Amino acid sequence: MNLSIEKTALVLIDLQNGIIGHHSAPYTPEAIIERAGALVKAFVEKGGFVVLVRVSTLDGKDMLHPITDTEQGPASYPAGWDAIVPALAEIDGTYTMTKRQWGAFHGTDLDLQLRRRGMDTIVLGGVSTGIGVDTTAREAFQLGYNQVFVEDVMGAANKEMHDYVCQTIFPRIGKVRSSAEVISYL
């Protein structure tokens, strides 16, 4: 498999201070961040487009508030919870995008940024595998993007959720690969 750097974007979901520590199974947060950093550097060195997606809120009113059986996020968040982790934020040549819900396409300019650059493929990773990454993947699938899922640059609340999505959902809408494999395809 080869990936054309001119047509492929790296999209990393919610690798931010307030989330990574809670959604890293089966890997450690440090391992996910290290491999994500290697991917970002590989893309940037080849002139690729890298999108670091974070979830944030202005005042909580712009977040979804559905009626659910489980408790939703806190009413307020600590300062800096929405900042991209320093190891990734300090790499020049990336685009940081803010979303207000699980998926990175709805209500953002991600599709516009990708299409105007001629991108038809996304390499996707981040946390949580079964929430932000999965929702973004399904949105991308419906928009017609080819996808490569970087299994070892993802994490979930537990291994079972991570494995289910990576073994059952992602193979139906793209290809699942390791970070080392993806770097070798560039």
Residue 86 has pLDDT above 80, yes or no: yes
138: closest CA among 104, 161, 114?
Answer: 104
* In contact, 151 and 177? CB cutoff 8 Å: yes
Share of the chain above pLDDT 90, in %: 84
Give the Å distances, CA to CA, from 145 to 114, 119, 138: 10, 8, 10
pTM over 0.85: yes
- In this structure, the chain runs to a length of 186
The pLDDT of residue 118: 98
> How large is the average pLDDT for residues 13-38?
95
Question: What is the b/e burial string over 36-73, where b = at least 16 CB atoms within 10 angstroms of the residue's CB?
Answer: bbebbebbbeeebbbbbbbbeeeeeeeeeeeeeeeeee
Pairing of the two strands 8-13 and 175-177: unpaired
Residue 111 has pLDDT above 90, yes or no: yes
- pLDDT-based confidence at residue 183 (cuts at 50, 70, 90): very high
Please, what are the domains in the chain? 8-59+77-185 (3.40.50.850)
The pLDDT of residue 60: 72
Tokens of 5: 């750097």
Distance of alpha carbon 186 from alpha carbon 182, whole angstroms: 7
The pLDDT of residue 148: 99
* Per-chain mean pLDDT for the chain: 95
Pairing of the two strands 49-55 and 8-13: parallel
